Amino acid sequence: MIQEAYRGARQWSRDRQAIAIVVWVSFLAAAVGTMLFFAIFDPVQLFADMHLSRDAGYAVGFFFFWILCASAAGVTAWLVRTAPKRDAKKAK
């Protein structure tokens, strides 16, 4: 049996952390948004012109909400990271 010493968890860069957070949060928000939206609207009636099945309509709706939420979360993450530091001294 081969045993290797555990070297600890690998640290993620700030960019990887931000991307992972944006993807995960937007996925959860899209799931909730999809459930709420399709509790009211029927995907077969919404996508009647496209002749999509109900499952395909749910998928299209979910990916639409995911892209929408990822865009909003990405802009928010960018604004937070590019904001000036609160403790920075103002130059006179």
- Of the candidates 35, 37, 60, 30, the one whose C-alpha atom is nearest the C-alpha of residue 47 is 60
Q: What is the per-residue pLDDT across 71-91, written as a single tens digit (0 to 9) for each?
A: 999 999 999 988 888 776 665
Q: How confident is the model at residue 35 (pLDDT cuts 50, 70, 90)?
A: very high
Domain extents in the chain: 14-81
Say whether pLDDT at 32 is over 90.
yes
Give Cα 21 distance to the centre of its chain.
7
Query: Quick one: pLDDT at residue 89?
Result: 63
Q: What is the per-residue pLDDT across 40-68, written as a single tens digit (0 to 9) for each?
A: 999 999 988 999 899 999 999 999 999 99
Tell me the backbone φ, ψ of residue 62, rounded to 5 degrees: -65, -45
Query: Quick one: pLDDT at residue 90?
Result: 63
Say whether pLDDT at 8 is over 80.
no
